[in-house]
Amino acid sequence: MALSKEQQERSREILLEKRSSLAKQVERLAKDAAESTEATENSKSPLSSAENASDTYEQDFAFMSMESEEDLLRKVDRALTRIRENTYGTCEECQQAINPERLEALPWATMCVKCQELEERGLRRRSDDLEFEMEDDNEEALIGDDKDRA
């Protein structure tokens, strides 16, 4: 275990703090978004187009930030689970120790930099990989046909 008990405890405190502030933020943003949707839907009263535009902008913005706050909240939750399970500080992909400096900057990191990068690249390439597999299968089938014919 690369992390000392103290480091883990400090991370846990940061994560718990982050979690409660994020939960509040998500709740507030969800409320804002709901109110703003309601206001837009019920706006039969004559609003100036400028006011309408700013309403739409604020609504989009609220939804957008809510998504990323929720994403972060999930990461924080996962890191807290890993502390409970005593696997915090190790990469969930390669099981290697995550750089303690990385954990200090990003206490909710559950992957080492290398695996994180691979995953980000992997996500972007997934549909291409599927196409390649299909092409390979077709090629094998064609070769098989040739052999059968010869």
Out of 39, 53, 94, 142, the only residue in the binding site for Zn ion (CB under 5 A) is: 94
Alpha helices in the chain (DSSP H): 5-41, 49-84, 100-105, 113-149
Only one residue has tokens 């014919």, namely: 149
CA 18, distance to chain mean position in Å, is 16
3, 91, 103, 109: which one binds Zn ion (CB under 5 A): 91
93 binds Zn ion (CB under 5 A): yes
Which one of the spans 4-12, 67-75, 94-102, 131-139 is the region binding Zn ion (CB under 5 A)? Answer: 94-102
Residue number, 15 or 91, with CB nearest to Zn ion: 91
Closer to Zn ion by CB, 34 or 94: give it. 94
Write the secondary structure of 91-113 as one string of H (helix), E (strand) and C (coil): CCCCCCECCHHHHHHCCCCCCCH
Integer Cα distance of 96 and 106 in angstroms: 17
Does 112 sit near Zn ion (CB under 5 A)? yes
**Binding positions for Zn ion, rule: CB under 5 A:** 91, 93-94, 112, 115
